[in-house]
């Protein structure tokens, strides 16, 4: 059992399938041409790490059904939930993943995570099973729309953005609210009104 071919044969026997590796020896392959894409180069390190984890969740039959919520992504890569949601949005914005079903609360009260499709890989229900590779359409400076759950959020229609203007008071600068409601108040007295 000391030589490499014999060891691999024994490992394959344990896995139960010819030519496959046991679960503890599986890996994710990222082709060099994929890693050279401008969209991939523009991703943050967190988004690249999350994409690798999403790719590891792919099993050749579940593209379009890869479940990943913000909390699940945070557990996968070891970051805050808000950062993980930002990374999911970044991957979506750059064209690496596409939402196939939005997460929601199920009828039994349990949450159902969002399902994603990896555009690098084929999906039987989209484009006759061929990969769409949406990341090839990404250009720097294009598609600046934030993802629906981004950290900054999308303002509600009709919401008034709080205007702050600097005022000098005894050799220090303080910011006052200038929304047009009465007298301007210093920022530490504004409260939640």
Query: Looking at the structure, do residues 28 and 103 belong to the same domain, yes or no?
Result: yes
Residue 173 forms part of a structural domain: yes
pLDDT at 173 over 70: no
- Beta strand segments in 40-146, E: 66-67, 97-101, 104-105, 111-112, 115-118
Do 93 and 160 have their domain in common?
no
Distances in Å between the alpha carbon of 124 and those of 43, 91, 193? 27, 21, 52
Does the residue 166 lie in any domain?
yes
Q: Tell me how far apart the alpha carbons of residues 38 and 35 are, in angstroms, rounded to a whole number.
A: 8
- Same domain for 176 and 130: no
Cβ neighbours around 90 below 10 Å, total = 22
* Structural domain includes residue 168: yes
The boundaries of the domain holding residue 127 are: 10-137
* Alpha carbon separation from 118 to 50, 126, 130, 133, 141 (Å, rounded): 12, 11, 11, 8, 23
- pTM confidence score: 0.64
The number of folded domains in the chain is 2
Which residue in the block uniquely carries the two structure tokens 């082709």? 31
Higher pLDDT, 87 or 26: 87
Q: What pLDDT digit, counting tens, does each position of 114-147 carry? A: 999 999 999 888 888 899 999 999 998 765 544 4
Q: Mean pLDDT across the stretch 59-80?
A: 93
Mapped onto helix, strand or coil, the DSSP state of residue 95 is coil
Six-digit token string for 36: 């050279």
């Amino acid at each position: 059992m000391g030589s490499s071919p014999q060891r691999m044969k024994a490992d394959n026997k344990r896995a139960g399938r010819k030519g496959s590796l046991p679960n503890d020896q599986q890996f994710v392959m990222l082709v060099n041409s994929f890693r050279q894409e401008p969209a991939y180069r523009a991703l943050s390190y967190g988004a690249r790490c999350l994409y690798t984890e999403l790719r590891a969740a792919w099993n050749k039959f579940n593209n379009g059904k890869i479940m990943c919520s913000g909390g699940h992504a945070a557990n996968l890569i070891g970051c805050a939930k808000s950062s993980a949601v930002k990374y999911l949005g970044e991957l979506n914005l750059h064209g690496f993943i596409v939402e196939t079903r939005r997460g929601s609360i199920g009828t039994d009260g349990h949450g159902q995570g969002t399902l994603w499709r990896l555009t690098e890989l084929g999906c039987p229900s989209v484009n006759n099973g061929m990969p769409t590779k949406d990341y090839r359409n990404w250009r720097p400076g294009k598609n600046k729309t934030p993802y629906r759950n981004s950290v900054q959020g999308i303002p509600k229609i009709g919401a008034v953005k709080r205007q702050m203007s600097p005022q000098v008071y005894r050799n220090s600068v303080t910011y006052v609210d200038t929304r047009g409601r009465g007298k301007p108040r210093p920022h530490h007295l504004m409260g939640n009104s």
